[in-house]
Amino acid sequence: MKGVVFNILEELVIETAGIAGWNSILEKTGSDGIYTSGESYSDDELFALVSEICIALDMPAEKVVGIFGEYLFEQLNARHPTFTASATDLKTFLFSVDTVIHGEVLKLYTNPNLPRFEYQDRGDNQLTMLYRSPRKLCILAEGLVRGAAKHYGKEVSIDHPVCLHNGADHCQLDVSIK
């Protein structure tokens, strides 16, 4: 995972638990905490940080990863505001993630590890996103979608009837925009 993701996780932990909280998490995982935005670091290091955060905050991983996804969206959007600026509504924006946004990420960063999304348009304010990634970060994807909804001033409900974590080859995210 790119350093930018670690940088944003660090910001969230410092906001929530202070610098002392972040340093204590780094101590527990044995990480040096130096992450350059465009460099790649091991996914295992990110997952180890997340598990220590769960212990420190006494929260389940699903909750922490979901909250992080929302925050990650806000911060990625602050760094790259052109994507939301060019999509007038949430549904159009979500349809642009796979080819337009992550397509640009492929040009901006060297060898990023990105998921793939396929889409089904289910009519007004409804869409299905089929998520595929060897990292199985579907809960992060849900958080990112909620973060995007917040940006557009919308609420969403997300059903997740098919999941990589239950042995499927993709996750199905049924998004309803309210």
Can you tell me the distance from the alpha carbon of 96 to that of 73, in angstroms, rounded to the nearest whole number? 14
> From the CB of 103, what's the least distance to ligand HEM, in Å?
10
**By the 8 A CB rule, do 169 and 98 touch?**
no
Q: Which amino acid is at 45?
A: E
> From the CB of 79, what's the least distance to ligand HEM, in Å?
7
116 versus 122: smaller Cβ distance to ligand HEM = 116
> From the CB of 52, what's the least distance to ligand HEM, in Å?
20
28 versus 132: smaller Cβ distance to ligand HEM = 132
Can you tell me the distance from the alpha carbon of 1 to that of 36, in angstroms, rounded to the nearest whole number? 11
24 versus 113: smaller Cβ distance to ligand HEM = 113
* Binding-site ranges for ligand HEM (CB under 6 A): 1-2, 4-5, 76-77, 80, 83, 94, 97, 101-102, 105, 109, 112-115, 133, 135, 137, 140-141, 144-145, 148
> From the CB of 1, what's the least distance to ligand HEM, in Å?
4
Long-range contacts of 152-157 (CB under 8 A, 24+ apart): 152/84, 152/89, 152/90, 152/93, 154/90, 154/178, 156/90
Can you tell me the distance from the alpha carbon of 17 to that of 77, in angstroms, rounded to the nearest whole number? 23
